[in-house]
Amino acid sequence: MYGLRFHTAVFAAKMTKKLLTLTGRKGTTLPGQIALRICPDLLAVYGKILGQRTVFITGTNGKTTTSNLLVHFLREDGRNVISNSLGANLIQGIASTLVEGVDLADYHDQAVVLEVDEATIGNVIAHLQPKAVVVTNFFRDQMDRYGELDTVVEMVGSALKKAPNNTTVILNADDPLVTSIAPEGKQVVYYGIESSQFDATSHSEVRDGKFCRKCGSNLQYSLYHYGQLGFYDCPSCEFTRPTPAVVAEDVKLLQEGIQFNVGSVTGFINSPALYNVYNALSAITASTVFGVQDEVLVREMGYMKTQLGRMERMTAANGRNLMLTLVKNPTGFNEVLKVVEHETRPVELVIILNDRYADGTDVSWIWDTNIERLHQLADLRRIYCSGTRAEDFAIRLRYADLGNITELVEGDIASVEQALRDLPDGHMLYILSTYTSLYNIRDHLLNQGGKEYAPENRASVS
């Protein structure tokens, strides 16, 4: 029905996936790479098969968490959903996901949620013709791959112009870099945070996008959430924060996560990081575009959880509590440090810094992290550094006057094992890892008998 080349490509990719699985590999990209080599039009064929039952999630931070929350909402609504949940968001990974997930004999009720790399979206959007595209935020990230931030913003903005006219574009109203690329002639829906206990009127953090992308003037802010996210306007032109259709109010920190209100509904996410409120809002907004039933959203918003190493709470096999999280750029790292600051138990850290291609080979971003704020922690006992660039982070810690509690450990798994072995009862371990070690560590923890943490106490600590 779809041509011999297409079916040959799908068959070859599925055989490759089986072989990789037998050898213990996840096979998230190679099957798609082979399929695209055999059938360069593979994605266009899938676009015709799926119609507009696809949603893209793109942006610097939050793609995986937003995707996973949206998949959860859709599945709870009874949908048959395919997604690249492990974050294989380049064109080969997207092809692998579609080959593995789309049932060519029964695809009419299948929906697809895809997180898409910012440099990839322009190559796939015209082929797959998504029903909706979510743009989460823009921060400096992996500059060796993407170049300057303006280049990334422009890439995504150009991609949005290629979307079908009936595609709904869902944008973070609080990020001026995101709202600057709102495409003309398309339905645009905004989400944002209206009030939070973290709000500030002054700002000393790394702030990307200081200038209006319309006229070049310095943006002025009446309120900051974090980074460049907040209430902004341009004093020299009409550019201003748009009014969001979906808003979170009264955001406040609880012991086990964050609570917020969306209209009359109280939402809770089991991660004490403000950025996950944005991830929840974008998933909620996309769910409404896909027609998820109100009663399902209201029920599921009551307890949302982050997984797959995104501020993921776990219990190790020896009973010790830990949090595993991805770090890859200064803004995300600084937000994780804010979470660590709120910890009431004695804290130990494992920081794993790699410079493989998927991590970004340029690790100079560590010098823009506000690691010095760890001095505010009352009881920080030890910091283990590991990864291919462990020495670089150890030097960064030395310049932050934290060298006396820093220990280099060879091997990412070995560093986690040593930290858990030496962690006293009642202490909390935070594992901050760049991308290529994240899933290895998570798999190791689970294989050793670790498990997801079961929340028991949501009492307010603020």
Residues 6+ apart with CB under 8 A from 84: 28, 67, 93, 94, 96, 97, 114, 115
Residues 6+ apart with CB under 8 A from 140: 149, 206, 208, 329, 330, 331, 365, 368
Adjacent-strand bridge partners of 257: 254
CA pair distance 365, 363, nearest whole angstrom: 5
Answer yes or no: is 237 a known binding residue: yes
Concerning whether 106 is annotated as a catalytic residue, the answer is no
Residues 6+ apart with CB under 8 A from 418: 384, 409
Answer yes or no: is 234 a known binding residue: yes
CA pair distance 283, 270, nearest whole angstrom: 15
Going by their DSSP bridges, the two strands 168-172 and 187-193 should be labelled as parallel
Side chain identity, residue 367: W
Could you say which of 144, 362, 379, 401 is catalytic? 362
CA pair distance 137, 171, nearest whole angstrom: 8
Rg of the chain's alpha carbons, rounded to an integer? 22
Answer yes or no: is 212 a known binding residue: yes
CA pair distance 72, 76, nearest whole angstrom: 6
Binding residues for Zn(2+): 212, 215, 234, 237
Q: Which residues are annotated as a binding site?
A: 212, 215, 234, 237
The set of catalytic residues is 362
